[in-house]
A = this chain, B = another copy of it.
Amino acid sequence: MAIAVEQFFLDPNYRGTLQRQLQEIVTGGVLAGRFRLGERMPSSRGLARHLGISRITVTLAYTDLVANDYLSARGRSGYFVSESAPRPPSFPTPVRTESNVDWSRAIGQRFPPSTVLQRPEDWRRYRYPFIYGQTDARLFDHQNWRKCALQALGVRDFAALTEDSYGRDDPQLIDQIIRHILPRRGIVADPSEVLVTMGAQNALWMLAQVLLTQRRTAVMEFPCYPALREILHQSRCNTLDVTVDALGLPPEDVPPEADVVFVTPSHQCPTSATMPVSRRRALLEQAEKHDFLIVEDDYEFELAFTSSPSPALKSLDRGGRVAYLGSFAKSLFPGLRLGYVVAPEPLIRELRTLRSLIVRHVPGHIQRSTAYFLAQGHYDAQVHKMARAYRERRAVTEVSIQAEGLTLAGASNFGGSSFWMRAPGGVQAAQLAERLRHRQVLIEPAGAFFGKGRDPETHYRLAYSSIPAVDIPEGIRRIAEEGQALARCRA
């Protein structure tokens, strides 16, 4: 029996080549049982005419389908669905089930839902997206990333990267982190002191599991990274907030009962304050004196472009009390989910055991692609390029902020990718953001950094990592305009 050309339709919305679409129609037809084993395919000439495409496209599609054993070629008789093609499943049409379980009772443990910052899913459609932490495709060295990923997909690497490697990390990535990244933070580490994680969030979560119990006390900065607050809350330890000032966390305010202190010294999240070296030393002394540990989240360290970066707190740590967290979310992209922890070996060992239990390891291909990107110098070129672009954007934003009279809520001599702002005259940041959305401007109200019931409701984050410099002045102008309009309504 021959398959009729009428079974072939092109989808105008298909994203891909004609050849690929044709192949998918055939494989889909075979797998759905519509095209049966041994049936003859339409001639390439006939199908090409029917679809109004070139005959060579049909021939190429058929050839590929033969290579993949969906079709077989029988000389002049044409192409047939291969006898050894995958067979369609043969179950009766199943019935949808409705759960009659009382899930409110069946779920034994509930986890705090993430307080995601207010950001529409279609943020890329906005003209003035002052949103934080996403990749600017214009700045990313996509071409070299692709090369490195392709290299890591090569036959040579295949065996190593496809194995279940249990607790082990990719030695090439560990080597690059140790030789290439940590030295610029002043950190020396041995491979046994480094663990690859699924991003910084995963690292924070694992550290909380291993270091905290219901009888222990964690100290966090106020305000702080919302995901950290959720992680600590879920771990059920005692938590204490220490309010940061213009120089970050004041070490003398850390209570002696602290067991673990979570800090962001390079660039406080969200105020952008940089902790001076004297405070870092004081914090380490406190840690020795009161026997607490420190978790240093060094997010965005690559983007210290406004001044020479301070060495990491970890590099000053003589007592081995600091667990250092790095991430590739800002220098590469957040969807990679790749970070690392540097800490004394006994702690890394426990974290590794926990990681094995929950995810085993980070996918091999991701580790190796990143290792190549580092080894071949693309990472440095990339960070350099980003820093240059961000420096320009930051300068433009600063000028516009001054010109339009917006209010900075925190100063920073670090760089990074955002400003910490306050809305004018008691205006609610959420309300301001809502109005700006209708004018193509996105800003991030900062309630989540303060936590429930403690939000002054006036702060927002103004990030320039996803907006070109040329659009910044107009965006800032609109923020000023709407802010003033709202302030007038209140007055």
Contacts and interface: CB of A to CB of B under 8 A. Distances in A.
A108 B187 contact: no
Contacts of A135: 162-163
A406 to B, nearest CB: 27
A149 B151 CA distance: 11
A231 interface: yes
Contacts of A106: 211, 293, 347
Interface string A79-120: 000001111011110111111110110111111111010000
Contacts of A99: 319-321, 344-346
A28 B377 contact: yes
14 contacts: A20-B376, A27-B377, A84-B388, A91-B186, A101-B344, A109-B212, A111-B210, A137-B159, A149-B153, A150-B153, A162-B333, A164-B329, A201-B357, A337-B362
Interface string A347-374: 1001001101111111111100000000
Contacts of A281: none
A378 to B, nearest CB: 7
B320 A98 contact: yes
Interface string A310-342: 010001011111000000010001111110000
A45 interface: no
Nearest to A293: B106
Interface stretch (A140-148, A438-446, A474-482, A483-491): A140-148
B381 A69 contact: yes
Contacts of A385: 69
A127 interface: no
A198 B114 CA distance: 19
A155 B142 contact: yes
A380 interface: yes
Contact of A364 (B198, B335, B381, B383): B335
Interface residues of A, number: 136
Given A103-B347, A110-B350, A162-B333, 10 more contacts: A20-B376, A27-B377, A94-B186, A99-B319, A103-B344, A112-B353, A114-B166, A114-B356, A231-B357, A336-B365
B89 A365 contact: no
B335 A165 contact: yes
B381 A15 contact: no
Nearest to A133: B164
A319 B106 CA distance: 14
**Copies assembled:** 2
A161 B385 CA distance: 21
A159 to B, nearest CB: 6
A234 interface: yes
Interface of A: 15-16, 20, 23-24, 26-28, 30-31, 68-70, 84-87, 89-92, 94-101, 103-104, 106-114, 116, 124, 133-135, 137, 140-142, 144-146, 149-151, 153-156, 158-159, 161-167, 180, 183-188, 198-199, 201-202, 205, 209-213, 216, 227, 230-231, 234, 259, 291, 293, 308, 311, 315, 317-321, 329, 333-338, 344-347, 350, 353-354, 356-366, 375-378, 380-381, 383-385, 388
A338 B364 CA distance: 12
A147 to B, nearest CB: 10
Most chain B beta-carbon contacts within 10 A, residue among A91, A335, A337? A335
A353 B134 contact: no
B109 A213 contact: yes
A62 to B, nearest CB: 13
A315 B209 CA distance: 37
A108 B213 CA distance: 6
Nearest to A68: B381
Contact of A335 (B20, B162, B198, B308): B162
B375 A319 contact: no
Nearest to A202: B359
A359 B337 contact: yes
A112 B357 contact: yes
A111 B353 contact: yes
Most chain B beta-carbon contacts within 10 A, residue among A106, A113, A137? A106
B231 A108 contact: no
Contacts of A329: 164
Nearest to A288: B100
B91 A346 contact: no
A102 to B, nearest CB: 8
